[in-house]
Amino acid sequence: MVRKENDAISSSTEVKSAAAMQSSKNYYLPKIVLCLLGDLDSKTELEEMLNEANVDYEFGERDARMEESFKGVEFGTRPSLKREDFDAISDHSLVLYILSNGYPKASAFQASAWFLLFGCKLLETGAVAMKCESSGISHSRLRWLTLSEACKRHSSTQPEREIGEVVAGLYTALFEAYVQYPIGSAKDYWSCGMHLLGQPDVIIATELVKKALADSDSPVADVAYLFNAFCLYILGESSESHFESGGTFHPDSEFPSLKVVWEECEGYPHDDLYFNPYGRWRFSSISD
């Protein structure tokens, strides 16, 4: 997947103290920026909603590059944009950016859930398309709304529901909404967006993929499977104890066990929306 340099509004809330887990010493708090497209006729209604919600926003005029932009960051693991989505993107006459404040790890689920739900309210009101600038990911309008419904359903506090079921459903919906993976280069495959959920991203060298998955018919699909399983594990089962650097992981008994080490996030400036202040988990070697 080709990723372009991010030219959206950068985060500006600098943090001097270390996070509760391993993290960069000096960094910027994650910030969610969503880009929505719509029609000028819906601007007044959208603006009323934005002001009522007291959210930072910025309107812009039609941008002819948007179809290419949405296509370039479509979720590679499960693409969902249809012809009708691209037609709506092409026909837009209004661009809207909504921005969160920088938020700490402890507020990650709350902030990311609120922005998913609010962004989808805008999609239901007059916006026709949405992408997340903070992780470089786009879904179809229908896919966003489906994830929003899952988020609402699993945010329920109905007493008959098990807490584990609610939490697992919530973080799965948020992970699927915000995290782009696997992004590839000649050297590595990696994810982007786990910082929005208060956790490190993941990365694996292409050479290790070739070695560990030598018999695979679809190495990229297997990397996606590995990333999905590990990230959901980190978000859920390991949320309290935290996975320790140097530990091992394998998503199932058929998959080779891999050593995982923590490292700093590299490749993005510290004030870039893609930068992960919580670092990255690198699958570093095959475990003996």
The CA radius of gyration of the chain, in Å to the nearest whole number, is: 19
Q: Angle 157-162-166 (CA atoms, 0-180°, nearest 5)?
A: 60
At which residue do the structure tokens 């693409």 appear? 79
Residue 132 has pLDDT above 80, yes or no: yes
Helix segments in 43-107, DSSP class H: 43-53, 66-72, 83-90
d(CA 250, CA 256): 6
- pLDDT digits 0-9 by tens, 165-175: 546 788 999 99
For the chain, what is the mean pLDDT? Answer: 87
- In this structure, of 5-14, 88-97, 134-143, 259-268, the range with the lowest mean pLDDT score is 5-14
Q: Please give the distance of CA 70 from its chain centroid, rounded to a whole number.
A: 15
The span from the first CA to the last CA of the chain, in angstroms, equals: 32
Compute the half-sphere exposure of residue 101: CA atoms within 13 Å on the CB side of its CA. 7
Residue 239 has pLDDT above 70, yes or no: no
SS (H, E, C) 120-132: HHHHHHCCCEEEE
Determine the pLDDT at residue 14. 34
Determine the pLDDT at residue 167. 66
SS3 of the chain: helix, strand, coil, percent, to 5: 40, 20, 40
User: How, if at all, do strands 33-38 and 94-99 pair?
Assistant: antiparallel
The answer to pTM > 0.85 is yes
